[in-house]
Chains A and B, each alone.
Chain A
Amino acid sequence: MTPTKLDVRGEICPYPMMRTVSALKKLPGDESALEVVTDHAPALETIPTQAARLGFRTDIEEAGVSEWRITITRTQVEEEA
């Protein structure tokens, strides 16, 4: 399944992090990953931190000149059926 995508390129600080957090909070329970594209370097620290606090793990890869793709994957599977 292709993950939900969020493009926050061009955004000013701290919206890359804030919009990622609100997307994670809205992520449907049956979806396990969110893919964020950002060109804001400080978000490479704030997004992994906030994602970890919400129970996600992050992988960062370079995706161009000063652009990064952050793949955020759910680590805690919700127990309720």
Chain B
Amino acid sequence: MTKNSTLALIAWATAAGVYVAAHAVDAQFAMFWVFGLAFGFVLQRARFCFASAFRDIFLMGHARNMKGVLVGLAVGAVGFGVVMSRQVPLTSLGIYPPSANVLPLGIHTALGGLLFGVGMVLAGGCVSGSIYRMGEGYVASWVAFAGVMGGLLLSAHTWNWWWEAHISATPRIWLPHLIGHPGALVATLLGLAAVYVWVVSIEHRAGVVVPVASGAPIQPESFGEDLRSVARRFFEQAWPIIPAGAALGGLNVLLFMAQEPWGFTGEVSRWSIAAASIVNAAPGPLVGGESLPGCVLVPSDGNFLNHMLFLVLGMFFGSFAAAVGAGEFKLRIPRRPVRYGQSLGGGVIMGYGSGIGMGCTIGAFFSAIPSLAVNGWVFGGFLAIGAWIGTLIIQRIQ
């Protein structure tokens, strides 16, 4: 047994211990812990990065991650579409599915996506990317996460202004209200297919793409050797992006069926506001939020344990365990001081964007497009514009 697999077994045994302890308190905590572990594991194994999905299209005409994202969105859309057609069979009544991420659509959506796109490229990862890289030992990602918490707190201080000046008057546009369930699903899948064709054309113009070498083919000598090679592909070699995207989309559907779509900036804002309240820097009551789904800012309620806490910690720990098992855990300490500044600044910009946009690349995009909500497409489009601006900036900060 290798050193990696011993350490990985200890990590997974710890994860199982947390599961048992969480289950003793509340079965829901344990379920969200398992979802978090699964998301973190898949993100780490496939090096699945939403920031690079957008950035690499502009930076190098490379669409590996974006292809995975698009497949995940398509799987999510089919699953969410089926679930929502049962939740709201009659679209003519104007009712919304209770927990899908159909969010108010307005200037805040566009500005939130734009800021988030710039911030994630500056920081070298979005919020989910920073969480999984924290688990891999990237010190700059811890700095970026602290920035995200700061940015969310800033956005909480301006939330009531945004709500009264703009957000409260903006519509929530759900495609099934306009073109029915089948029409909304078909339109969404066609849209995703069109983006897929577009990114392939960009990749084609940019030239060759060299995939990760998957190692020499192994001539299996025994059944045991066959099993070990399966385990190596699962735990040690980088996963191909398409199955990883499909797995993330499928997990998102399961989480939606169980309770609500994948997302966590609302939860991170709760930590941030709770921390600020210790030094009397918390904002007052936030208006309008209770009536909205998704990753809307969550004021601290004095009760620290909740199911979303287990989801976020599970993502971190799942990535850590996956990285340890693959021999990819290492403390990575940037040597150029400017990297700490850009990680922190990028994090703050991302945090503010996700506060007013009511979500990140996950809640306001990866869970919103499958919710058949127009806000997901607008947020995604502005993420792309923001990422393009971010790409121009990072090329000037060598």
Contacts and interface: CB of A to CB of B under 8 A. Distances in A.
Nearest to B44: A41
A18 B195 CA distance: 26
B210 A12 contact: no
B398 A45 contact: no
Nearest to A8: B335
Interface string B40-75: 000000010101100110011010100000000000
A39 interface: yes
A12 B124 contact: yes
Given A45-B212, A46-B56, 14 more contacts: A11-B332, A11-B336, A13-B125, A14-B56, A15-B124, A15-B339, A15-B398, A19-B398, A22-B398, A41-B238, A44-B212, A49-B210, A51-B210, A53-B207
Contacts of B209: 49
- The number of chain A residues touching the other chain, given as a range, is 20 to 34
Interface of B: 47, 49, 51-52, 55-56, 59-60, 62, 64, 123-125, 138, 140-141, 206-213, 238, 327-330, 332-336, 339, 342-343, 394-395, 398
Main secondary structure, interface of B, reads loop
Given A41-B238, A44-B212, A46-B56, A10 B206 contact: no
B59 A14 contact: yes
Interface string A1-25: 0000000011111110111001000
Contact of B47 (A19, A42, A60): A42
B64 A50 contact: no
B342 to A, nearest CB: 8
Contacts of B398: 15, 18-19, 22
A9 B124 CA distance: 15
A14 B395 contact: no
A65 interface: yes
A52 B333 contact: no
A18 B332 CA distance: 18
Given A13-B125, A14-B124, A49 B208 contact: yes
A49 B213 CA distance: 12
B55 A18 contact: no
A67 interface: yes
A42 B334 CA distance: 16
A52 B210 contact: yes
A45 B211 contact: yes
Nearest to A59: B213
Given A13-B125, A17-B60, A53-B208, A65 B49 contact: no
Contacts of B334: 10-12
Given A46-B60, A66-B329, A58 B210 contact: yes
Contacts of B330: 39, 65-67
A50 B206 CA distance: 10
A41 B125 CA distance: 14
12 contacts: A12-B124, A14-B55, A15-B398, A41-B47, A41-B238, A42-B47, A45-B211, A45-B212, A51-B210, A52-B210, A65-B327, A66-B329
A17 B52 CA distance: 12
Interface of A: 9-15, 17-19, 22, 39-42, 44-46, 48-53, 58, 60, 65-67
Contacts of B55: 14
A68 to B, nearest CB: 11
A44 B328 CA distance: 13
Instruction: State the 8 A-B residue pairs at the shortest beta-carbon distance, nearest first.
Output: A12-B124, A48-B210, A66-B330, A13-B124, A53-B207, A12-B140, A49-B210, A66-B328
A53 B208 CA distance: 6
A70 B213 CA distance: 13
Given A42-B47, A49-B60, A50-B60, A9 B210 contact: no
B47 A49 contact: no
Contacts of A51: 210
A50 B61 CA distance: 10
Contacts of A52: 207-208, 210
A30 B213 CA distance: 29
A66 B124 contact: no
A14 B121 CA distance: 9
Contacts of A12: 123-125, 138, 140-141, 334, 339, 342-343
A11 B339 contact: yes
B323 to A, nearest CB: 8
Nearest to B340: A12
